[in-house]
Amino acid sequence: MCWPLLLACALAAPPPEPEPDRTTVRGSPAFESPPHASLTRERLAETAGADLPAVLDGEPGLTVSRLGGLGAFSTLSIRGSTPEQVLLVLDGVPLNPADGAPVDLSTLPLGPLSAVHIHRGRTPWSLGTTGLGGALLLETRRPDSATHEARLTLGAFETAAVDAFFAVPFALGPSRTLGLSLALDTLHTASDFRFENDGGTAWTDADDRLDTRANAWSNRIGLLARAELALGDTRLTLVDVFTLADRGLPSLGVTPTTASSLSLLRNLGALHLAASPGPLLLDAALHLTTTATDLADPRSEIGLGRDATRTTSLVPGARVTLRLPLSPSLTTRLVPSLHLAWRHEASDATDRPPTDRHLLASAAELLFRHRLAPALILELATGLRLETDLSATPLATYLESALTLPDLRLTLGARHTPRLPSLFELHGDTGYALGNPALRPESATSLELGARFTPPIARRRPLALSLFAYATWADDLIQFIQNAQGVQRPENLASARILGLELAAELTLGEHLRLRSNLTLTDAIDTSAIAARAGNHLPLTPTFATSHRLELRRPDATLGPLHGAAGLYLELDHVAGNHLDFANLVAVPPRTLLGAGAFVHADTVRVTLSLANLLSDRVQDLAGYPLPGLTTMLTLTLTPSSP
């Protein structure tokens, strides 16, 4: 298997306002637990040359680990979770492969996306599967209006990216429309930046030197096709997303690689139906995800024992959600929900025989909403969920409450979430990793208290504050234990206690100044019954992280032939308190990055210039891999027809 090897080698915007009286079926957001943060299309495209890992890095509670710069293998952790515990969903379809490997964020393009929703706690059960460590929900752009957009990005380290999006809606009659859209996303980068090589000796700088990053190139192409047929209150959506990514596998620098590489071929297809037959709200989907990962090591630079390995994943599935909104009175609403899901996971690899299993899930939820006063709403939600692979049937449960005032929303929640062992953990690869069919599901019990404050000032809301405090107790965590022969076997050995505080603020002063800041404090302690680990901080979980962006804008600037909004921005990111190992013997130095940029947004032309790591500091990623110094990116966007 290549993913364990890679790992071994290797609000901002506040959540949207609740919609107490909405009963439409387009995703039924009124009946879901709202995300902690939602990144809009404007937010995703505000920095030239940024990819999804760069956009997410710095969000409260999120930790991104990558094997270097742009295009490098990247994984996501949420609130001290492992990457395997995070659920990634594209248009309602889970991207997590059958073997349980984490999703590589660098293979997910920003171009076709309209929004990214971040769930740092409980994931919506209507997705059909549960993420123990939270979820990232990606939404592609809808063909609601005629849109033609092309974007070109050029930058340092031979970086070039071309994105295009085309959408055409057709009116078929009263309340009947058909929308078609196509998207193309490409990226190439050599990522051959200069970095500080310590020669593998952290105790002396006598052999330190500047080297050029080798074998860090990356290529990616993505295609998206989407069709939406709306017939009154019924919407039928067909989407297909194809991704091909190929990149070199660089080392930490002591012994550079030259020929090892990793390629990914993935196709996602889904058919989604949203309707309202009578008083019911129906949300159903069929989906199929196929993934093939090839790891090449022709010169044995990584030491796999073979020149190439291939892992394939096939995940078909189906899910159905039924909701019945009831209104016993003018001020009270009850919404019972039923979720049913089936998922088949099949995985095959060079080093092991094929494995597969069926997963069945059923869940029931009840939402109670009562209007205590014209501007005071009380919400209570609870649910039970069972998921089984025929060998284990863990129970998930939650209880959430919310009190909504005109300017303040208070939330309190408690949840217990399990995660079934993956196919890799159960069966291994018959080589250096053995399976353990007796593994118990991992589980986490969490408490969360949140507040979101958006005071109106002169009939506007220029200030938004969000504060979340949480405590998580994780038990039966699965860890791979190595024996004297170098063979690993997973066991339910670990446990952890995680306390966290997440603060996000956004301030807008008129049309000229915008400030966005967030702060994350995490105390993630290993409580395992292992003397060398007990009481230590969990690795790859910084204790302190903060991010700030100050933007100065002029809405009516004229620069040559362009007339529109123009501005400058400064960014500051700081991360500290991170270790690479469970024993806390290898610490990653604190990292401070300063960035800057400029932009011009006219009606049909947008130009964005970004300068990352402005001081060209020699810093490391959370996983210990070097990051590039000063990086310049320029993006030109043409939109003859605005969305």
Tokens of 515: 């400030």
Q: Is 427 helix (H, G, I), strand (E, B) or coil?
A: helix
Q: Is 442 helix (H, G, I), strand (E, B) or coil?
A: strand
pLDDT, tens digit (0-9, with 9 covering 90-100), for 150-167:
999 999 999 999 999 999
pLDDT, tens digit (0-9, with 9 covering 90-100), for 417-444:
999 988 888 887 655 677 888 888 999 9
Read off the pLDDT of each residue in 594-612 and give the average, rounded to a whole number.
92
pTM equals 0.90
Tokens of 63: 């930790």
Residue 391 has pLDDT above 80, yes or no: yes
Q: What is the pLDDT of residue 240?
A: 95
**How far apart are the C-alpha atoms of 489 and 436, rounded to whole Å?**
7
200 secondary structure, DSSP code: T
1 versus 455: the higher-pLDDT residue is 455
- pLDDT band, residue 140 (cuts 50/70/90): very high
Read off the pLDDT of each residue in 308-327 and give the average, rounded to a whole number.
93
**Distance from the Cα of residue 616 to its chain's centroid:** 27
Classify residue 202 by burial, with Cβ atoms within 10 Å: 0-12, 13-18, 19+.
exposed
Q: Is 219 helix (H, G, I), strand (E, B) or coil?
A: strand
Domain ranges of the chain: 2-641
Sign of CA dihedral 295, 298, 304, 310: positive
Read off the pLDDT of each residue in 403-410 and give the average, rounded to a whole number.
91
Q: Token match 């760069």: residue? A: 54
**How far apart are the C-alpha atoms of 223 and 324, rounded to whole Å?**
37
Contact call for residues 346 and 427 (beta carbons, < 8 A): no
Read off the pLDDT of each residue in 601-607 and give the average, rounded to a whole number.
88
User: Which residues touch 459 (CB under 8 Å, ≥6 apart)?
Assistant: none
Tokens of 143: 């063909």
Residue 250 has pLDDT above 80, yes or no: yes
Contact call for residues 596 and 570 (beta carbons, < 8 A): yes
Residue 460 has pLDDT above 80, yes or no: no
Going by C-alpha positions, the residue among 332, 421, 400 that lies closest to residue 132 is 421
pLDDT, tens digit (0-9, with 9 covering 90-100), for 63-113:
998 888 888 889 999 999 988 899 999 998 999 998 888 899 999 988 889
Residue 20 has pLDDT above 50, yes or no: no
Read off the pLDDT of each residue in 612-625 and give the average, rounded to a whole number.
81
Residue 255 has pLDDT above 80, yes or no: no
**How far apart are the C-alpha atoms of 386 and 393, rounded to whole Å?**
6
- pLDDT band, residue 18 (cuts 50/70/90): very low
CB atoms within 10 A of CB 391: 12
Q: Is 641 helix (H, G, I), strand (E, B) or coil?
A: strand
Q: Is 43 helix (H, G, I), strand (E, B) or coil?
A: helix
First-to-last alpha carbon distance for the chain, in angstroms, is 43
Rounded to the nearest 5°, which phi and psi values hold at 316? -90, 155
Q: What is the pLDDT of residue 631?
A: 93
**How far apart are the C-alpha atoms of 53 and 70, rounded to whole Å?**
9
pLDDT > 70 in the chain, percent:
89
Residue 620 has pLDDT above 80, yes or no: no
Q: Give the CA angle between residues 525, 530, 534 to the nearest 5°.
A: 25
Q: Is 20 helix (H, G, I), strand (E, B) or coil?
A: coil
**How far apart are the C-alpha atoms of 621 and 154, rounded to whole Å?**
23
Rounded to the nearest 5°, which phi and psi values hold at 4? -65, -30
Going by C-alpha positions, the residue among 128, 627, 143 that lies closest to residue 338 is 128
Length of the chain: 643
Read off the pLDDT of each residue in 321-345 and give the average, rounded to a whole number.
94
Read off the pLDDT of each residue in 575-581 and give the average, rounded to a whole number.
88
Classify residue 288 by burial, with Cβ atoms within 10 Å: 0-12, 13-18, 19+.
middle
**How far apart are the C-alpha atoms of 50 and 108, rounded to whole Å?**
12
Indicate the class that CATH gives domain 2-641. mainly beta
Residue 271 has pLDDT above 80, yes or no: yes
Contact call for residues 323 and 336 (beta carbons, < 8 A): yes
Read off the pLDDT of each residue in 399-417 and give the average, rounded to a whole number.
93
Q: What is the pLDDT of residue 10?
A: 34
Q: Is 64 helix (H, G, I), strand (E, B) or coil?
A: strand
71 versus 447: the higher-pLDDT residue is 447
Strongest mean pLDDT among 11-25, 96-110, 297-311:
96-110
**How far apart are the C-alpha atoms of 459 and 294, rounded to whole Å?**
56
pLDDT, tens digit (0-9, with 9 covering 90-100), for 529-542:
888 888 999 888 99
**How far apart are the C-alpha atoms of 603 and 586, rounded to whole Å?**
51
223 versus 15: the higher-pLDDT residue is 223
pLDDT, tens digit (0-9, with 9 covering 90-100), for 343-364:
999 998 887 788 999 999 999 9
Q: What is the pLDDT of residue 625?
A: 80
- pLDDT band, residue 26 (cuts 50/70/90): very low
Going by C-alpha positions, the residue among 239, 228, 144, 242 that lies closest to residue 184 is 242
Q: What is the pLDDT of residue 14?
A: 35
Q: What is the pLDDT of residue 640?
A: 82
Going by C-alpha positions, the residue among 401, 479, 399, 410 that lies closest to residue 445 is 399
Going by C-alpha positions, the residue among 197, 191, 326, 296 that lies closest to residue 252 is 197
User: Which residues touch 12 (CB under 8 Å, ≥6 apart)?
Assistant: 37, 39, 43, 59, 60, 504, 506, 516, 518
- pLDDT band, residue 458 (cuts 50/70/90): low
**How far apart are the C-alpha atoms of 613 and 623, rounded to whole Å?**
18
Going by C-alpha positions, the residue among 535, 537, 512 that lies closest to residue 523 is 537
Read off the pLDDT of each residue in 293-307 and give the average, rounded to a whole number.
79
132 secondary structure, DSSP code: T
- pLDDT band, residue 217 (cuts 50/70/90): very high
Q: What is the pLDDT of residue 115?
A: 93
Q: Where are the beta strands (DSSP E) in 324-407?
A: 332-349, 352-373, 376-388, 395-404
- pLDDT band, residue 511 (cuts 50/70/90): confident
**How far apart are the C-alpha atoms of 412 and 195, rounded to whole Å?**
46
Residue 549 has pLDDT above 90, yes or no: yes
Mean pLDDT of the chain: 86
Q: Is 349 helix (H, G, I), strand (E, B) or coil?
A: strand
